[in-house]
Amino acid sequence: MSAAVLLPLRVVERNIVSYRRTWVILVSAMFEPIFFLYGLGVGLGRLVGDLDWQGDMITYAQFVAPGLIATSAMNGAIFDMTFNFYFKLKENRTFEAMLASPLSIAHVLDGEMAWAMIRGGFYSVTFMGVMYAFGLIASWWALLIPLAALLVGLMFAALGSFGTTFARNWQDFDILFLITQPLFLLSTTFFALEVYPTWLRPVVQATPLYHGVDLIRDLARGTVDSSAFGHVAYMVIATVIARRLVNKRLGKLLLQ
């Protein structure tokens, strides 16, 4: 294996070792989407009744669950690439120590992104199991959901760390929730794009989580069409650009 793959894996290993004792924290976040599914999808769903999804009448839980996969991939990745990333960058200077070894900034960043992606993907896959148990998966296309969730995780790993490189202190992370909460609530996770007035729809479609939610919902419902290419392209391009920017920012912060 080449150094570009092997060295980032050592960073992943470090994170595995560090979470070995605190795995409870890792696992506990797994339950969050399950609570949302039950509280909103099942509970609130009673009041909402069935709704129309591309010609099919589906329950509200069937509508919400795929959105929760995407948000759990986002949350899993974001947590590692914001709070933990900041701790390693500024407080504990873990990255500084890593850069005294053969690792370079790109290796460190790729390793952290891979780990965040794995973490986000782990939540998504466990939640998929819950969905299956609840009878909320309607298509063989759903087998591609883990891949889509990994892409969502990777994109938010890159975006999250990019924002974190500008954080000056812990208080700055309050802004993070001002971004992730609206994304969580408004990216068609809980209601369809058609609910928005026409002029607002392009704004929603320009935000990152929307693409994950819509793609995963199509996969879960088996309503995949050409829009899937657009979603994948958006997320791949956002990931690549953000990763390059973070790489640059880290160089500025750590190698001067």
Binding-site ranges for other proteins (CB under 8 A):
3, 6-7, 10, 13-14, 17-18, 87, 92-94, 96-104, 254-256
Q: Are 175 and 164 in contact (CB under 8 A)?
A: no
* CA dist., res. 182 & res. 180, Å (int): 6
Amino acid at position 26, single letter: L
Please say which residue, 54 or 92, places its beta carbon nearer to other proteins: 92
Q: Between 93 and 248, name the residue whose CB sits nearer to other proteins.
A: 93
Which residues neighbour 114 within 8 Å (Cβ) at sequence distance 6 or greater?
Answer: 8, 9, 11, 12
Crossing angle between the packed helical segments 105-133 and 145-164, to the nearest 10 degrees = 140
Shortest CA distance to 15 belongs to which of 102, 147, 117, 91? 117
* Closest distance to other proteins from the beta carbon of 254 (Å): 7
Minimum distance, C-beta of residue 107 to other proteins, in the bound complex (Å)? 9
Provide the minimum distance between the beta carbon of 21 and other proteins in the complex, in angstroms, as a whole number: 9
Which is nearer to other proteins, 25 or 233 (by Cβ)? 25
Residues β-bridged to residue 57: 52
Minimum distance, C-beta of residue 91 to other proteins, in the bound complex (Å): 8
Nearer to other proteins (CB atom), residue 25 or residue 206: 25
